[in-house]
Structure 1
Amino acid sequence: MKKLSLLFSAMLLVIVLAACTESTSSSPENDEEEKSQSEESASDEEKEGKASSEKEETKPPQPYKPIEPDEDAKPLKEKLSEEQLAKMPKVEAHGGERERMIPVGETLVKGAQDKTDGPLKNHRLVAYYGHPNSTNMGILGEMEPDALMDKLKEQTQAYSNADPERPAIPTIELISTVAQRDPGPNGKHYTRTPPEQIDKYAKLAKENDAILMLDVQLGTDSVLHQVKLLEKWLKLPHVHLAIDTEFHVDEGETPGIDLGQVNGAEVQEAVDYLSKLVEENKLPDKIVLVHQFMDEALTNKEAIQPTENIEVALNYDGWGPSATKMSLYRKFVRNEAVQYGGFKIFYDKDEPVLTPEEVLTLDPNPAIINYQ
């Protein structure tokens, strides 16, 4: 009996050890399942990586060509004094602290990023603004198209030479919707530029490897509706959007008499709409330029956010004494901008008309300079 008891105990121990071994080791079925899960996980990562890579590979190239600087053009930093490199212009500081927020040559405002492959990432835009049917609305209406393009290229060349590390792109900023004091047949206080004229300048820009920016003066219409009216042209690879905030008035008010206003949330609707348009139509990344010359003209700026395929620039476009303009650029762009800054120059109204070298001492350097 004693021998049987010992034998039984030994057999029981063997059974327990076998069970423990089985529970702590992987079965062939478990091995296959784990292998399958591992392969599936790796496959998902590979697919995501492949999709991301394919997205980058299939992203269409930008259609513009910047004006190359002259061979003897010196980098911007080599042409400025130590004080200019360290401090913004006195007139821009307007009696305040002069320390630069952004190093000379850089155009992104402090804390901003650019996740796009848009024109502003490595270049600067030099634009001629106006309407072909009006000599009072900018240089665009003062010259025939070919002569305009020749002069625009000369002005653009000056900026490429002033900062050869950021070659400039010639840009036509065409007013595609003109605000009117009369309500007009649509009752919205605006008139659309004839489509054939927009087509004409779209063709001119394309033939010259330039950019066309369509500017909207809103009247009492909404930003988003105006953008939708331009969809035909915004689907072109070289066409971008600009919004003139001062001409957006409420019902019962009159553009040009009452100061208009745009809420940043309305701008963001346009940014999101254009972003979706770019994605769905596989277009090159685009720009939304927002004009402002007074606090009241653009509110709720914090609502404006660039996307992965839309760059956003806030443009100071007042006219008058250049010292005042430079100090207001600091207020509206340096201290309040979303991503990039722009600066408008009036050939006939500024005192004096700043040179490209003077414009590029601003903090941060304007990514867009438009001339009216």
Structure 2
Amino acid sequence: MSYFRTFTRLTAPALASLGLAFTLTTLSGCGSRSGTDAETPSTAADSAKPVVVDTVALKRAAMQRDSLKADSIAKKNGQLPGAILPGHRIVAFYGNIRSKGMGILGREPKEQMFRKFAGVLKEWQEADPSIPVQAALHNVTITAQGTPGKDGKWRLMNSKATIEEVLSWAKEHNCILFLDVQPGHSTLEAELPKLEQYLKDPIVHLGIDPEFSLATMPGVRPNQKIGTLDAKDVNFTVNFLARIVSENKLPPKVLTVHRFTRKMITNYKNIKLDPRVQIVMHMDGHGEPTLKKDSYHDYIQTEPVQYTGFKLFYEYDARPKPHHIMTPKEVLSELTPKPLYIQYQ
């Protein structure tokens, strides 16, 4: 999607089809002859010229109108129709179905992984029967790379076949699907439009990962330093998703934003909320329980945005012994606020 100002020449019928009302007023000038319908050639030519319409301005006006409407509905009913949060707790398996090293999603054979997932979902539902659990798959779809690639952006997008396969897994097992973006040395403005066709599906949501956002750090390879995103990047993402929701008449999208250091998200107070997008600030760090709880307090609880999330690592949280992976009951009893998004890697 281009954000440069574009103009489209539209004739009067075309304007009418957009629902735009306009009137033409004829003013008599000096020396005009009253009582005649004659047009000079230049006047006829002028009236035949198409009207220039700023289509970007029209889209902005439509977005503003939709935003005001969404605000009105949300204030009246609490949430927009179809909103997942806060009426559910999302529990997700994270990774990439083409990689054994990125997380539980992809590490084990498909059916074995889903049997394990069913047990985890049951544990969470039993730990808090007051709120239904919504199962989710969280697939890293644009992945930071160890080499720069032909364009020097240090990231690679999953193939169409891979995205469609993980989407089919989600639908087969009544899950929602998060497509996660690690921009590398690219930007969200450049990468997110690549996912728009998939985000038009009502079960598809989005994650963005500041850890692997290095556009402001020239020459730094992913994993050498922790990256960063600013509130303006989050706001761009919110506006991008809100437009998709409005244009396709979808229920609100959920946006997860990974975080485990203060600098990963700057100017958090400037993040703007929109009822069409539900923002989850997600504590993404691994380690022993005390460290994880401290990180949640420092970077999620004390810098609130909207909803909160918490990640559990099968491989890293339990090392070294006697550390362990926190149980659902521990998470719910020891974290404030209780996270509504839980992710296993």
Task: Please name the residue that 2:337 is paired with.
Answer: 364
Q: Of 127, 130, 151, which aligns to 2:92?
A: 127
SS of corresponding position for 2:210: strand
Letter in 1 for 2:235: Q
Distance 1:260 1:114 in 2: 35
Equivalent residues of 2:97, 2:166 under 8 A apart: no
Alignment of 1:102-141 (within 5 A): 115-117=79-81, 118-141=83-106
- Equivalence for 1:300: 267
AA aligned to 2:90 is L
Q: How many residues align structurally?
A: 267
Moved segments of 4+, more than 4 Å = none
CA–CA distance in structure 2, aligned partners of residues 297 and 334 of structure 1: 15
* Separation in structure 2 between the aligned mates of residue 193 and residue 337 of structure 1, nearest angstrom: 32
Q: Which residue of 1 aligns with 2:161?
A: 196
The answer for the alignment partner of 2:300 in structure 1 is 333
Residue number in structure 1 paired with 2:48: none
Q: Does structure 1 residue 220 correspond to structure 2 residue 185? A: yes
Q: Which residue of 1 aligns with 2:60?
A: none
Paired position in structure 1 for 2:220? 253
SS in 1 for 2:183: strand
Matched, 1:281 2:245: no
Deviation at 1:288, TM superposition (A): 0.5
**Residue 165 of structure 1: aligned partner:** 130
Identity %: 35
SS at match of 2:279: strand
Alignment of 1:1-372 (within 5 A): 115-117=79-81, 118-249=83-214, 250-350=217-317, 351-361=323-333, 362-372=335-345
Cα shift readout 1:218-258 (whole Å, capped 9, x = no counterpart): 10111132211111111111000001111011332211112
- What amino acid is the match of 1:336? E
Partner Cα distance (2:110, 2:205) in 1: 19
Unaligned 5+ runs, structure 1: 1-51, 57-112
Secondary structure of 1:186's partner? coil
Letter in 2 for 1:266: D
For the structure 1 residues 342 and 114, does the alpha-carbon distance in structure 2 shift closer, same or farther, using more than 3 Å as the test?
farther
Structure 1 CA distance for aligned equivalents of residues 271 and 101 of structure 2? 31
**Residues 223 and 267, structure 1, Cα contact 8 Å, conserved in 2:** no
Aligned-partner Cα distance in 1 for 2:116–2:235:
34
Q: For the residues of structure 2 that align with 1:364 and 1:305, how far apart are their CA atoms?
A: 20
Larger radius of gyration: 1
Q: Over aligned residues, Cα RMSD in angstroms?
A: 2.2
Ranges in structure 2 where 5+ consecutive residues have no aligned partner: 1-68, 318-322
Please report how far the alpha carbon of residue 341 of structure 1 lies from its aligned counterpart in structure 2 after TM superposition. 0.6
- Give the whole-Å Cα distance in 1 for the aligned partners of 2:106 and 2:173: 19
CA contact (8 A) 2:95 2:106 kept: yes
**Cα distance between partner residues in 1 of 2:249 and 2:154:** 34
Greater alpha carbon shift after TM alignment, 238-247 vs 200-209: 200-209
Contact 1:116 1:311 in 2 (8 A): no
Q: Does the 8 Å CA contact 1:221/1:248 hold for their aligned counterparts?
A: yes
What TM-score, normalized to structure 2?
Answer: 0.73
User: Amino acid of the residue matched to residue 341 of structure 2?
Assistant: I
SS at match of 1:158: helix
Work out the CA distance in 2 between the residues paired with 1:114 and 1:272. 21
Q: 1:198 to 1:114 in 2, by over 3 A?
A: farther
* Contact 1:175–1:216 (8 Å) recurs in 2: yes
**Distance in 1 between residues matched to 2:111 and 2:248, nearest whole Å:** 31
Q: Partners of 2:120 and 2:250 in 1: how far apart? A: 28
| 1:114 shift after superposition | 6.3
| TM norm structure 1 | 0.68
Q: 1:307-348 CA distances to partner (integer Å, 9 max, x unpaired)?
A: 111100100111111111011101111111200110000112
- Give the aligned residue type for 1:189: W
**What's the CA shift for 1:153?**
2.2
Greater relative CO (CA pairs within 8 A, separation 6+): 1
Q: Which amino acid aligns with 2:286?
A: W
- CA–CA distance in structure 2, aligned partners of residues 240 and 257 of structure 1: 29
